[in-house]
Amino acid sequence: MLRSLTSALNNTRISIKLFIAPILITAFMLGMGVVSQYGARQQSAALDEIANVAANIQRDVSLPAFEPSAPLTYRDLQRLVRALARQNIYCIVLLDEFDVLSQNDKLDAEVFSGLRALAMQYQLTFVTASTQPLLDLTYAHASSLSSPFFNFFTQIRLGLFGLKDAQELLATLSARADAPFDETMIADLIRLAGLHPLLLQQAGCHAFETFQSEQIHPIQPRDMDLHRTVLRQKFLDSALSHFTYFWRNLTEKQKRVLALLPLLTQDDPMNTLRLEQAGLIVKSERGYAPFSASFGEFVARQPLDGLCQSPPLSLDLQQHHALLRGQPVALSSSEFNLLACLMAQPGQIVPHSVLETRLDRSDAGALAPAGSPIITTPSGAKWRIGRKRANG
């Protein structure tokens, strides 16, 4: 946050008056030691940089003389905001990664109340960015329980891109780098990352690196499939940490709804709404689905109590529901029990005697909606899951 803020200040003189308060807010928090990811040496360097930028701004726009104490205190901040208000300067304070700040034990109710008092008394506006709603952050830490700071914000959710926005992002950035993506590449990247802003940029970054390597070692048409596979794997490797973060920040009920989307969206509309607001699922004419196929594949590999998953099959052991490639499938009781037995022991040979206890052979019913059944009994073998391959 500090680096991007000071960079913007050094390179933008039009909106300088709007940025003086964020600098002092940041310096105030650094002085209190509340920006936990900065060590003592980094904090000192950051404060020096902030002081230099602030001095340049004061010189360029004739702001009131300001000599803060060391370390910067709330009174210093109050004096600055008051002086700016007298000159009819409207300050906008930008606070990024607010989740981290709200949970810091050095930011107590008094600090947040003081910031709110400044906003109510002077021409001062706060803009916070966080991965969680401010209502949730209000109760994230005991020190902020009584603070009214969270109660006067208007919440704006930044969701997924629209399709045109995603296409424009990839087309514009790639063209700016003299490596324009064609329509096929853009479609492939959107299919891979969905319409998620961050993941789209990551996918585009890997595609750009591939484009650069192609200039040195052109790819032969026969190697195109391998090329796509490598690009996909690079993206999945970089996206894994984000997918894991998304998953860990869900409740058990939300995880269950996400894993069994077609079945539980109507039964649990509240958690479905939360997942949609978080940008983890999207709604189409065919119903809800994960925001990208790659994220859906990640979800299908996650262990969850009462759920047995072995793509493309998912079994809800509690409600006896089954999904095949994300779509509900009607199974008899014995078919369901047989699948549950086989999927619980992947890669192992299950004795015929065990299978007989799970399946009544008089039961009829195809697991697959069309084509040959997925459960087969090869001659001289045990039970097998998977379609029979055509000869040759």
Token digits of residue 131:
């991965």
- Of residues 326 and 39, which shows the higher confidence score? 326
Q: What pLDDT shows up at residue 143?
A: 52
Helix spans in 287-379 (H):
293-300, 333-343, 352-358
| CB atoms inside a 10 Å sphere around CB 6 | 20
- pLDDT bucket at 355, cuts 50 / 70 / 90: confident
The parent domain of residue 97 ranges over 2-152
298 and 232 in a common domain:
no
Residue 392 included in any domain: no
272 and 236 in a common domain:
no
Boundary residue ending a domain (223, 247, 271)? 247
Indicate which CATH number applies to the domain containing 284.
1.10.10.10
Residue 226 has pLDDT above 90, yes or no: no
235 and 117 in a common domain:
no
Do 105 and 72 form a contact (C-beta atoms < 8 A)? no
Do 168 and 177 form a contact (C-beta atoms < 8 A)? no
* C-alpha distances out from residue 282 to 161, 181, 183, 291, 310, Å: 11, 25, 23, 5, 23
Interval 105-157: pLDDT, tens: 777 777 777 888 888 888 888 888 887 777 777 655 555 445 567 777 888 88
If you ran DSSP here, which 8-state letter would residue 12 be given?
Answer: -
207 and 322 in a common domain:
no
Residue 32 included in any domain: yes
Query: What's the structural domain count of the chain?
Result: 3
Residue 17 has pLDDT above 70, yes or no: no
Strand 124-128 with 91-95, pairing? parallel
120 and 200 in a common domain:
no
182 and 294 in a common domain:
no
Residue 158 included in any domain: no
Query: What's the rounded Cα separation, in Å, for the pair 102 and 340?
Result: 45
Residue 391 included in any domain: no
Boundary residue ending a domain (247, 281, 309)? 247
What pTM did the predictor assign?
Answer: 0.64
- Of residues 352 and 249, which shows the higher confidence score? 249
Boundary residue ending a domain (247, 264, 280)? 247
Q: What are the DSSP calls for 340-361, one per residue?
A: HHHHTSTTSPPPHHHHHHH--T
Residue 157 included in any domain: no
Q: What pLDDT shows up at residue 33?
A: 46
Do 195 and 284 form a contact (C-beta atoms < 8 A)? no
Interval 146-205: pLDDT, tens: 556 777 788 888 889 999 999 999 999 888 888 888 898 899 999 999 999 999 999 999
Q: What pLDDT shows up at residue 161?
A: 93
Q: What pLDDT shows up at residue 108?
A: 72
